[in-house]
Amino acid sequence: MAFDFGTRRIGVATGQQLLGTGQPLTLLPARDGIPDWDAIGHLLDEWKPDLVVVGLPLNMDDSENDMCARARKFGKRLHGRFHVPVEMVDERLTSFEAKGEVMASGGSRDFGRHGVDDRAAVLILETWFRQQ
């Protein structure tokens, strides 16, 4: 299972390591980066992932920024609350690529309602699969 952490929305995807593919699952609302932890708990209970990956939005020069610290904190809270293994994955350009996919499939520029964050989570998960 993968999470694309954001301050307003968190994209979620699931996938199969054997196939190396992911599928968008849902978009979770967040308030200043704070998700509905019960909703995340329900997803983890339902899907029972072996591992959770969280996107790390590094700068293009490999340096970290404020969102990296927030994404790491989110990952640590996932691990602490739900006792699942969590790995961070470089997610540079996944949101940009996901926006391109939405536009290419006829979506509008109102990205918040059209699955950019859950598609970015798919790209994060597939990046992790390729690195294994």
- 6-47 pLDDT, tens per residue? 999 999 999 988 888 899 999 999 999 999 999 999 999 999
- The CATH number of the domain where 72 resides is what? 3.30.420.140
Residue 113 above 80 pLDDT? no
Q: Which domain holds residue 12?
A: 2-131
Query: 127 and 7 in contact (C-beta within 8 Å)?
Result: no
- 96-110 pLDDT, tens per residue? 554 555 555 555 444
Number of structural domains (the chain) is 1
